[in-house]
Amino acid sequence: MVMAPVQLDFDLLLSVVVVVVSCLVIVRTFWSGGRKDGDQVLPPSPPTLSIIGNLHQFGRSHTHRRLQELAQRHGSLFLLRLVIRGVLSFHSRTAEEVLKTQDHVFCSRPPQHTVRGLFYDCRDVAFSPYGERWRQLRRIAVVRLLSAKRVDSFHALREEEVASFVERIRAAGAWPPVRTTTVESAESLTYTVISKAVFGSKLGGMDPGAFRAMVKETSDLLETITVTDMFPRATAPLDAVLEGALREHEKSSGNNGDADDDDLLDNLLSAVLALGCGGGRRGFKPRQDRCEGTHPSGIDTTYKMMEWTMAELVKNPKEMVKVQGVTNCGEHGSVTKEKLGRMTRLHAAVKEALRLHPPVPLLVPCEAIHDTKLHGYNIPAKTWVLINAWAIGRDNESWENADTFSTERFVHNAFDYSGNKDFRLIPFDDGGRGCLALALGI
């Protein structure tokens, strides 16, 4: 007797496969939420899915807000598994451990895909990995470009541009009134001060509006999480601008014998020449080296700080009155460096705005250069550590009435923007990789 071959029902087979795979995914998901990886005790992690890890837990909301929601469920230090392994920090104690106590361990930068495209394989001083090249770039920035004496030499430029800004605002309020946008005026002020400090008067015919748009696009791309390797749409126009500025400086080099009148790009080119980069000034390739230390990306950061400070003062009229009481320079008075130094309430308002609205909510990621421990958890080498400055500034454990704008917090408080003993306020990063241009931007 010949038996007919067994015919498997395709739908039944498919159902069995789906059930088995689903069970495996569920087991893998809950198992991955544990804390052990071999013999290592890792930070707690939200449930993950195969292949995509925690990617499904990012919605359309702002990344720093979504990560704060995850921290409320999983603690102030937890592990995220995306394309890379990253540890998220949401507490000032952890930030201090990373940026101060173990600064020598977390002093490198990971090779972010977006930064590779925008800054020529992470070759600028802010994103370069730890090593001799970064130390050399930092030395040039600290000694030649952004020293206290060099930054102080720009105070006349600042006062001149601020006086012009105030006059434009005052004229807009005269009769007949002129429609003006304060935010755009503040952005224009920031652009003018920083670009003149960096490029001087040798702007090579750059259009200010187009340049501001390019800087904004660069800033927006840096705040995204992406797997794209390159962004030629953003880099090509900015390349042309920077190359044009360099050509103008090369043509005019040697015409001005007063070093005090040099701008930051002059100083950078002189430093490159002193380092012996073959071919002199013309051996310095701007398309490859990206004008390290002179890229005016601080424009976006600075005007955001101004915008949020003004917005919070408008929302809080009582605080506005307090600030106006110390900033009134008279009808024809001018704002000078000496007067600003005495405006404690104004400084407090800026710090409070930075606490609530840091220009970069998620600080530039750090990367562990070797295995270490962080609050009892194992952190393997090459792990990214992201610090949520926005969440730290709104932590109810650290701040009373954390969501309320109050200048009183900083009027009699010695908080500073960097070199902190208290890491509850870190809008511009800290430690060895802190913002080198802070004095110029603030």
Three-class secondary structure of residue 387 per DSSP: strand
Q: Which two tokens stand for residue 284?
A: 């310095």
Residue 23 labeled ligand binder: no
List CB contacts of 25: < 8 A, sequence separation 6 or more. 49, 50
The DSSP secondary-structure symbol of 397 reads T
Contact assessment for residue 91 and residue 67, using Cβ atoms and an 8 Å cutoff? no
Question: How far apart, in Å, do the first and last CA atoms of the chain sit?
Answer: 94
Render 360-383 in DSSP notation, one character per residue. SSBPPPEE-SS-EEETTEEE-TT-
Q: How many CB atoms lie within 10 A of CB 279?
A: 9
Q: Residue 400: what residue type? A: E
Residue 412: exposure state from Cβ atoms within 10 A (0-12, 13-18, ≥19):
exposed
Pure H helices in 223-297: 232-252, 264-274, 286-289
Binding residues for heme: 435
Binding residues: 435
